[in-house]
């Protein structure tokens, strides 16, 4: 940690570190409120999990823990259409958000158990209907004859990469700026941050938002506080399927999703979903929050994984045999120790806010995270109606030696 700030003319009110969907949404809303905002990005816009995520804005499944996490997902889904409309107006770019009927589809016993439990759990909160296999095929005739049934539920989907581009463009249109610079440290006076140091110099600022995704642990030494986030490897196939567009989003627990994007591309398969990954989603922690072993960043698209995803997807929709592969994408998502996002001020350094750890739901939760952090910075308070305390960095206390 550098002490004090060398003389510099470069300044901003807030520096947001990370130009993915979360950092972009935060910076967009701050710039819209009139703040002088700079986004720092050491790679490229949307280069992390934002660029390979499925972009599903859905509440059925085990991605959300019961309680505050699920509530945050509900609020996030509710505000999504309005946020996208606002973003299009501010950026001039369409992130390809659209809504379709969705099938949380079961073709094996385990999937039927999972989705019937989800139906019973959420039927009083969400507009859900359980339908049988024949009704599934009436909605989308190419679904396998093995379909046992599904939770029918309408929701949205968006392209995470285009969403990232749109937020960065909006920031610039609103008077902020994007600096393709890698953060190398923070500047402080006493216990308060006063600026950031990047590979090419320094920027004075009153607030720093660490929205660095799976790479956020680089900042632990700067702030003297643990950020228990590990990279969760994920892959997805982009394909073109001849014939009419698929008429529903299809989600499964063990066979990956089949998601019709607004531009006609199908997103097929998954390795990084909470059920596909094999982690114990009901455990208090999916890894030891005090584990300081080096994280593994597997950013490669593996041929054997592509074959696995195709094999699983063909069980759901045999017609995919005729699809043409457009791209095989891979990356890592920021998974926190308890699977919930880490959002809020760092107890160890005034002026530093963390916004990461969203796991598989970063694209879903980006707009609501943006509103939460903007409210903290602009008005010094929590966003009304949001269970902010549940996501505070203070829930993870330092082990002996952290920040010493």
Distance between alpha carbon 302 and the CA centroid of its chain, in Å? 22
Average pLDDT, the chain: 94
Contact 359, 336 (CB under 8 A): yes
Neighbour count for residue 129 (Cβ, 10 Å):
11
Rounded to whole angstroms, the Cα distance separating 116 from 249 reads 18
Rounded to whole angstroms, the Cα distance separating 249 from 260 reads 6
pLDDT over threshold 90, residue 273: no
* Per-residue model confidence as pLDDT tens digits over 77-134: 999 999 999 999 999 999 999 999 999 999 999 999 999 999 999 999 999 999 999 9
Question: Most distant CA pair in the chain: distance in Å?
Answer: 70
Half-sphere exposure of 279 (CA within 13 A, CB side): 23
The CATH architecture that domain 2-395 belongs to is 3-Layer(bba) Sandwich (3.50)
Give pLDDT, residue 283: 79
* Per-residue model confidence as pLDDT tens digits over 20-59: 999 999 999 999 999 999 999 999 999 988 989 999 999 9
The full DSSP string for 231-253 is EEEEEEEEEE-SSSPPSSEEE-S
Give pLDDT, residue 397: 87
Give pLDDT, residue 282: 73
pLDDT over threshold 70, residue 335: yes
Look at the chain and count its residues: 404
For residue 44, what are the contacts with CB-CB under 8 A and spacing of at least 6? Answer: 19, 180
Q: Is 34 exposed, middle or buried (0-12, 13-18, 19+ CB in 10 A)?
A: exposed
Contact 267, 255 (CB under 8 A): no
């Amino acid at each position: 940690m550098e002490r004090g700030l060398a003389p510099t003319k470069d300044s901003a009110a807030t520096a947001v570190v990370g130009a993915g969907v979360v950092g972009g949404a935060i910076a967009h809303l701050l710039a819209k409120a009139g703040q002088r905002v700079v986004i720092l990005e050491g790679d490229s816009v949307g280069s992390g999990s934002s660029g390979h995520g499925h972009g599903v804005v859905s509440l059925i499944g085990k991605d959300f823990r019961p309680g505050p996490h699920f509530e945050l997902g509900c609020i996030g889904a509710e505000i999504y259409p309005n946020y996208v409309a606002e973003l299009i107006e501010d950026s001039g770019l369409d992130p390809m958000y659209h809504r379709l009927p969705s099938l949380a589809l079961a073709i094996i016993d385990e999937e039927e158990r999972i989705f019937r439990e989800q139906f019973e759990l959420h039927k009083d909160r969400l507009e859900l209907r359980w339908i049988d296999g024949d009704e599934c095929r009436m909605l989308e005739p190419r679904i396998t004859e093995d379909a046992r049934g599904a939770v029918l539920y309408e929701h949205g989907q968006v392209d995470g990469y285009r969403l990232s581009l749109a937020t960065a463009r909006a920031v610039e249109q609103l008077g902020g700026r994007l600096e393709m610079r890698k953060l190398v440290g923070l500047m402080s006076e006493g216990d308060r941050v006063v600026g950031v140091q990047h590979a090419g110099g320094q920027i004075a600022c009153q607030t720093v938002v660490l929205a660095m995704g799976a790479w956020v642990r680089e900042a632990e030494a700067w702030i003297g506080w643990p950020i228990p986030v590990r990279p969760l490897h994920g892959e997805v196939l982009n394909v073109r399927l001849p014939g009419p567009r698929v008429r529903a989003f299809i989600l499964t627990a063990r066979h990956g999703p089949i998601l019709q994007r607004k531009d006609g591309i199908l997103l097929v398969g998954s390795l990084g979903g909470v059920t596909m990954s094999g982690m114990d989603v009901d455990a208090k922690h999916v890894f030891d929050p005090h584990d300081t072993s080096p994280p593994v960043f597997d950013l490669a698209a593996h041929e054997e994984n592509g074959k696995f995803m195709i094999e699983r997807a063909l069980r759901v929709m045999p017609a995919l045999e005729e699809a043409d592969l457009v791209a095989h994408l891979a990356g890592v998502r920021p998974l926190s120790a308890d699977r919930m996002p880490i959002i809020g001020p760092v107890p160890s350094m005034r002026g530093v806010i963390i916004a990461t750890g969203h796991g598989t739901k970063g694209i879903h939760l980006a707009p609501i995270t943006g509103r939460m952090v903007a409210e903290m910075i602009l008005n010094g308070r929590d966003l009304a109606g949001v269970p902010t305390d549940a996501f505070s960095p203070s829930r993870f206390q330092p082990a002996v030696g952290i920040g010493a």
